Amino acid sequence: TGKEKAGFPVPLEGAAQNASGQVFKPTTELQRPGLLLLEGTVYAAFGSDCDTTPWQGWVYGVSTAGQVKARWVSDESGNGAGIWQSGAGITSDGAGTLLVSTGNGGAPAGPIPGKTPPTNLGESIVRLHVQSDGSLKPVDFFAPFDAKQLDTWDADFASGGITGLNDQYFGTATVPHLAVAVGKDGYVYLLNRENLGGIGEGAGGSDDVVQRIGPYGGVWSRPGVWPGEGGWVYIPTASGGTTGSGTSGFLRVYQYGVSGTGLPTLSLQATSPDSFGFSSGAPVITSNGTTAGSTLIWM
């Protein structure tokens, strides 16, 4: 009916459950990512308002009964690691689990295995598990091997959010659960959702991910996905990938496939002939199911 429910509104305030010395400061926080309703709790994520200090990445969980259940901060040491994702929603791929991406400040230094998340999770993809008391605990993460360098030029890894790919259409027997992530530096990452990869755990200190391709331009948006005709991913860019500021870019089209060694892959197949200005919206895709030739991409 639109009538306000008893017990609401609920103020978001107080210290983080994972770092009692960190207190939420709402005047310099901005709630930008899309909300997530998961098992009776609404989750909201926060980052900076144009990097006005102090800011941190926060995730709050408020039950539909009006109780604050979760207060998690992404950098326990202080300023940074905002969760903004250009408005992309918080992701969940199962009961009691969330995925978020964080931006500049507080990047970890590798090598660190993915299943042992550090207390500073800037420039990262983070999997959070809901604990029995409703609080959140990081259980896996990925950060680019050069995350510290990204921090130096405002190259938020969070600017593209994280997009899970439908297991029915994407993935292999050995890597059945995939996700796509991309940030301001323009590299496109294909991730294993069951083993995100940590930082610097690949050969020679590189990324331990399914695939890293590019750079194809900085992103201030989120990927769009269509599973038909083998699977496609659409990503609009908004810079050349060498600056922390957006200008203009192109719509890039990637095809899903499998490599000769049996690993899932994405390959760039097309680029729009005309440019898209900074702050253009994310792709919205409509189709008649997976019927070939029925797809329309709206921008």
What is the arithmetic mean of pLDDT over 75-102? Answer: 95
Q: What share of the chain in percent tops pLDDT 70?
A: 100
At 185, is the pLDDT very low, low, confident or very high (cuts 50, 70, 90)? very high
Tens of pLDDT, residues 146-170: 999 999 999 999 899 999 999 999 9
Supply the pLDDT for residue 239: 94
pLDDT > 90? residue 78: no
Q: What is d(CA 78, CA 292) in angstroms, rounded to the nearest whole number?
A: 50
Mean pLDDT, all residues of the chain: 95
- Write down how long the chain is: 299
What is the model's pTM? 0.96
pLDDT > 90? residue 267: yes
At 143, is the pLDDT very low, low, confident or very high (cuts 50, 70, 90)? very high
